[in-house]
Structure 1
Amino acid sequence: MISAQLVKELRERTGAGMMDCKRALQETGGDIEKAIDELRTKGLAKAAKKAGRVASEGIVVSYIHGPGRIGVLVEVNCETDFVAKTDDFKQLAHDIAMQVAASNPEYVSREEVAEEILNHEREILRAQALEEGKPEKVVEKMVEGRLEKFFKERCLMEQPFIKDPDKSVQELVHENVARIGENISIRRFARFEVGEGIEKDTEDFAAEVMAQLK
């Protein structure tokens, strides 16, 4: 099992993301030097070093899914207008928009999740674990493990990339940073789905239910 301390140390030495560090350590059997080489090979350490640079250029892309039932707007930023106009950057932005359409995230990253929401989620997960009869000493570990699943489902950067589920969206972005040579960030997105949040007319809803029962 890879310890949190080992992940922290690798992150401090490379600047790569937490999940990237954890995965690299798992792939190398916990050997931190080999994990550093693994991150460098993938360009993730290099990408992390560019993360502090200002990315104020970029594009807003739109994506309409199917017959127009889902629409997405995404703002993806880079450092220069030159890169923003390249096919590689435009393809990345398009892929991100498709990801939002398909996976319906609520946040760009875990840092956007308000503390009160996390505390509420922890309370629910803790209650679930206790209800399952788990001993108190393992409940906290279970809560944190399930909270990681919460992040993976609801935070765009931690979701499995729809075109290659073996990598996260964060890893996709890092790979593009390493290839393009500029810092890239996903600033914000908006997702629209036809009928979302609208209460259906009672008669229409009943007719729909009856049609499904036939």
Structure 2
Amino acid sequence: MSKKITAESIKELRKKTGAGMMDCKKALEASEGKINIAIETLRKKGLALADKKCNRIATEGIVESYIHAGSRIGVLVELNCETDFVARQSEFYKLAKDIAMQLAACQSVYYISKYDIPLEILSYEKNIEVQKEDLVRKTPEIRDKIVEGRIEKRLKDLCLIDQAFIRNPEITIDELVKQHIALWGENIKIRRFERFLLGEGLETKKSSLNKEISSMINNK
């Protein structure tokens, strides 16, 4: 006998996945009420649908901000969608706020995806890895594989979409966005962001000013 699907379990699944009510109900029925299996089913379905929409043009959206407690860290992020209707949804604002909060928490992140990383950064990271002492005695084939793996990991550390979502570490930011693409049936893009750290760069300016003053004194 199949397990009865309750309204509470449907609401719980919707809260965890962002999927529609009917999709949640069908997933729970197919999994005989096992919510973990239903989540996996909806996640796979959502990612498949999202992949089909990721190349569509998204020119609407919002610019959202997040200021961390103490007002020492602030983030601005532009999140795009296809229509003004989706841009006005409270869930869309929440998604933008969550992404901005993620950026405040992950200060080692400088790019949205690996495709945004400049070639000079890639070359720099590769040169560092190639010269590490533990690779000296490795054969070229093994060394190249190790370097490739390390570079891949390093690039993920630099990219926003590869980060585990701070509110739900079981999914990445990429999966979070794709869940919302599946929810609204529109493409969603994180276009750009800016992070502000209180006092960042001031020490460098102070040092430069001191050098300038010293130079003026020595030239007298």
The residue aligned with 2:183 is 179
Deviation at 1:128, TM superposition (A): 1.3
Q: Which position in structure 2 is the counterpart of 1:208?
A: none
1:189 partner amino acid: F
Aligned counterpart, 1:68 = 71
Moved more, 116-125 or 178-187: 116-125
The CA deviation at 1:127 is 1.0
| Structure with bigger gyration radius | 2
Task: Note if 1:88 corresponds to 2:87.
Answer: no
Rounded to whole Å, the distance in 1 between the matches of 2:112 and 2:160 is: 5
1:183/1:140 CA distance change after superposition, 3 Å: same
What is the aligned-residue identity percentage? 51
Cα deviation, 1:108-150, whole Å, max 9, x if unaligned, reads: 1100111121012111111116556444331111111111211
Alignment-mate amino acid for residue 118 of structure 1? L
Tell me how far apart the structure 2 counterparts of residues 145 and 129 of structure 1 sit (CA, whole Å).
Answer: 16
Cα pair 2:135 2:143 within 8 Å, conserved: no
**Structure 2: distance between partners of 1:167 and 1:93:** 16
Amino acid in structure 2 at the alignment position of 1:68: S
Asked if 1:112 corresponds to 2:111, the answer is no
Structure 1 residues 81 and 129: alpha-carbon distance in aligned structure 2, compared to 1, 3 A threshold: farther
Shift of 1:169: 0.6
Which amino acid is the alignment partner of residue 84 of structure 2? Answer: D
Residues 22-70 of structure 1 show CA distances to partners (whole Å, capped at 9, x for unaligned) of: xxxxxxxxxxxxxxx9687341111011111110000000100011000
Task: Give the TM-score, by structure 1 length.
Answer: 0.72
Map of 1:122 onto structure 2: 126
Q: 1 CA distance for matches of 2:147 and 2:185? A: 38
Pair 1:155 & 2:193 matched: no
**Residue 103 of structure 2 aligns with which residue?**
100
TM-score under structure 2 normalisation? 0.70
Asked if structure 1 preserves the Cα contact closer than 8 Å seen for 2:43 and 2:179, the reply is no
* AA partner of residue 62 (structure 1): S
Matched residue type, 1:80: T
Q: How well do the aligned residues superpose, as a CA RMSD in angstroms?
A: 2.1
SS of aligned partner of 1:91: helix
Say which SS state the counterpart of residue 57 (structure 2) adopts. Answer: coil
Cα gap change, 1:41/1:112 in structure 2, threshold over 3 Å: closer, same or farther? closer
Letter in 1 for 2:180: N
Q: Distance in 2 between matches of 1:169 and 1:132?
A: 36
Deviation, structure 1 residue 78: 0.2
1:189 aligns with 193
- Gaps of at least 5 residues in structure 2 are 1-39, 208-220
Offset, 1:165: 1.7
Aligned residues: 166
Residue ranges of structure 1 left out of the alignment (5+ in a row): 1-36, 203-214
Quick one: distance in 2 between partners of 1:198 and 1:132?
Answer: 40
Per-residue CA deviations over 1:71-91 (Å, capped at 9, x if unaligned) read 000000000001000011111
Structure 2 match to 1:142: 146
